[in-house]
Structure 1
Amino acid sequence: MNRKVMRQRRKKRRRILFIFVPLLVIVLASVGYGSYLTYKLANATSNANEELGRGGKSDKREQAVDPSEDHFSVLLAGVDDSSKRGFSANGGYKGVRSDALILATFNRKDKSVKMVSMPRDSKVEIPGRRNTDRIAHAHSYGGMDLTVETVENLFDVPVDYYVKLNFDAFLEIIDALGGVEINVEKEITEQNSKDEAKAIHLEPGVQTLGPEEALAYARTRKLDSDIYRGDRQKQLVEAIIKKSASMESIPKYGTVIETVGDNMATNFTFGNILALFKYSKSIDSIENLKLEGYDDTSTGAYYYELDEASVEEVSEQLKSHLELPGYEYNPDDSTSKSEEESNETP
């Protein structure tokens, strides 16, 4: 097998992992107190800080928002890029696609978090491009500036902040945490990160997974389907968050913060990140919104065709959660309504 094919295979498997890494930024922000860790976090944030070309305010906002006072949104982006090439929001983006995109909204009233993941092959309109394209291509065309604009265009909601990370952080974070505890429901045999066949073998039962085992657990799809693989990924997310928040992990925060900081670009300031502390009790009960769609190969190329009704439904929920003008948020109501619709309800 030649090197090009091997690199392509590794990239394909790594895509699923980016959903985990950005969550660590929020977790560490919520527990990263103490003078030493505060210094580490402040230094990492300062080195990673980079504004978008638009400035500090979304074009869909009348004024900039403050996480300590307002509802806000964050776009979490994972790319298969190397920090050695000058990792930044828009530096060296050509040809570098986003391998994972997650939009999270935060409501300051009940400290709740909603999150929606956008499949990388989702067929969308990319501002400035003539034809529809995969959402992952937005980054290769215009870095985080165009990625943010594309997501705003898709859901018609403001993206206030972004966090961009690369794959290098994942294995290092799992290693720094000393592994994570997972209840493996089925026997799994997988390749390792070096493409060595059947190198990883997991028996059913509760066990601590190291970096290589976690990678195999997250990427395997031979057992069932992508839906179940997604469930395993969510299980791993929860395990990472739980381990990060445990007392035994506190001495490891410095290493984890450095790892994330070296592989991150964000327009969050240190003060913004500290404001996330109030969401720490909600971080393990995030509401995941599902974006429905179907596989489409009618053009000869593969796309994930988004269901328009599903996009609209997710958009309405995000608008409500952010309490954008004309919308209200009711935590006890599973459906979101605009103020106009609410007034029409008997």
Structure 2
Amino acid sequence: MAQSRLKRRKSRIRRTLKVFTMIGLLSFLIAGGAITYFVFQFANATSVAQQELERGEKSERRTEAVNPTKDNISILFLGVDDRDGNLDGRTDAMLLATFNRSESSIKILSIPRDSLVNIPGRANPDKINHAHAFGGLDLAVETVEELLDIPIDYYLKLNFKAFIEIIDALGGVEVDVPFTFSEQDSFGQHGAITLNEGTQLLNGEEALAYTRMRKNDPRGDIGRGERQQDVIQALIKKAATFSSISSYDDVFNSIGNHMTTNLSFGNMVALHNYAGSIDNMENLNFEGTDTRQNGVYYYQLDEASKQTISRIMRIHLGLEEAAVSTTPTN
């Protein structure tokens, strides 16, 4: 009788183990399928969006091509005021980020679009946002390289539609709005969006208005640049903690249709190591003065500020040794 009870107990244990084993296997297959789906969609989207620079895979300021899995790198982010999907024209936003591998740190520089700079091949200095209109991606990249004396390893260019759809797909971004203001929407309807002072969760249209507004900001393009940095930081933080893989479908579609980059799928995966760097991220900003030449407005960069920021970014990229502690210009 005891042996019979023992056999029945063993049988129940075996059945229970089989159930748990099947549940575990099913969970693994579901998770594995989701991960496989995510990787396939992401790889496909980045493949469609990938566009190399005419210069090739490396900057002329590098002796050899960099690898984000082991090297310090720089990425130039370009926002284009484009609604036709051709990603041409002037850049409405320009942000440069440097990534230091050993520190797992990121520095983000906002470059005012009206900055008066030398554009290679042009007879006279002009607004930096004209470089892309004059010579496309390569000239925009070359102009920033000359301005800061650093290599630009990668670029990422997107238009307003991609910006809006990516933020909406991530469920919005949280920022601290410095003051209440109204701004046009992506269709050009003036005063269509009002943002109130204080911490706000912004959808795509609201985030675009937040980053575009300049005329109502007493600090002009500098204040605008800092708001763009706020959104970039919020995006990195949100993407790093986002868990619903299926909601990335809209992101993948936007990447394929409204964004170009020379970052490969493998490069982007390597950048995931910086996902936890939100507390080790520093904003940099140029100092300068408003000026007019022949009735045209420009932002004249302060030479000392430009040299300081160049040195900070060169040190961060490991191109120069830090002799003394340098305080960034904010």
Query: TM-score over 0.5 for the alignment?
Result: yes
Q: Is the 8 A contact 2:45 2:253 kept in 1?
A: yes
Identity score, percent: 50
Q: Give the corresponding residue for 2:102.
A: 109
TM-score, normalised to structure 2, is 0.78
Alignment partner of 2:128 out of 129, 135, 149: 135
Alignment partner of 2:145 out of 134, 152, 162: 152
Quickly say closer, same or farther: Cα 1:320–1:84, change in 2 above 3 A. Answer: closer
CA distance in 1, matches of 2:197, 2:59: 47
CA distance in 1, matches of 2:93, 2:190: 26
Q: Give the letter aligned to residue 222 of structure 1.
A: N
Q: Give the letter aligned to residue 292 of structure 1.
A: E
Q: Give the corresponding residue for 2:39.
A: 38
**Structure 1 residue 34 displacement after superposition:** 2.2
Q: Is the 8 A contact 1:323 1:329 kept in 2?
A: no
Structure with greater Cα Rg: 2
**1:1-346 paired onto structure 2 within 5 Å:** 34-82=35-83, 84-85=85-86, 87=87, 93=88, 96-184=89-177, 186-196=179-189, 198-203=191-196, 206-220=199-213, 222=216, 224-226=218-220, 228-247=223-242, 249-283=244-278, 285-324=280-319, 327-329=320-322, 333-334=325-326
CA distance in 2, matches of 1:77, 1:214: 16
Quickly say closer, same or farther: Cα 1:168–1:317, change in 2 above 3 A. Answer: same
**Structure 1 residue 133 displacement after superposition:** 1.0
Q: Give the corresponding residue for 2:30.
A: none
Q: Is the 8 A contact 1:321 1:328 kept in 2?
A: no
Could you list the runs of 5+ residues in structure 1 that have no partner in the other structure?
A: 1-32, 88-92, 337-346
**Structure 1 residue 333 displacement after superposition:** 3.8
Quickly say closer, same or farther: Cα 1:106–1:198, change in 2 above 3 A. Answer: closer
Quickly say closer, same or farther: Cα 1:306–1:34, change in 2 above 3 A. Answer: same
The runs of at least 4 consecutive aligned structure 1 residues that moved more than 6 Å come to none
Quickly say closer, same or farther: Cα 1:58–1:204, change in 2 above 3 A. Answer: closer
Comparing 193-202 with 120-129, greater Cα deviation is found at: 193-202
Quickly say closer, same or farther: Cα 1:123–1:271, change in 2 above 3 A. Answer: same
Q: RMSD across aligned C-alpha pairs, in angstroms?
A: 2.7
**Structure 1 residue 55 displacement after superposition:** 0.9
Q: Secondary structure at the match of 1:276?
A: helix
Could you list the runs of 5+ residues in structure 2 that have no partner in the other structure?
A: 1-33
Q: Is the 8 A contact 1:238 1:284 kept in 2?
A: no
CA distance in 1, matches of 2:303, 2:198: 41
Highest RCO, 1 vs 2 (Cα 8 Å, sep ≥ 6): 1
Quickly say closer, same or farther: Cα 1:260–1:202, change in 2 above 3 A. Answer: same
**Structure 1 residue 104 displacement after superposition:** 1.3
Query: What is the number of residues matched between the two proteins?
Result: 293
Q: Give the letter aligned to residue 293 of structure 1.
A: G
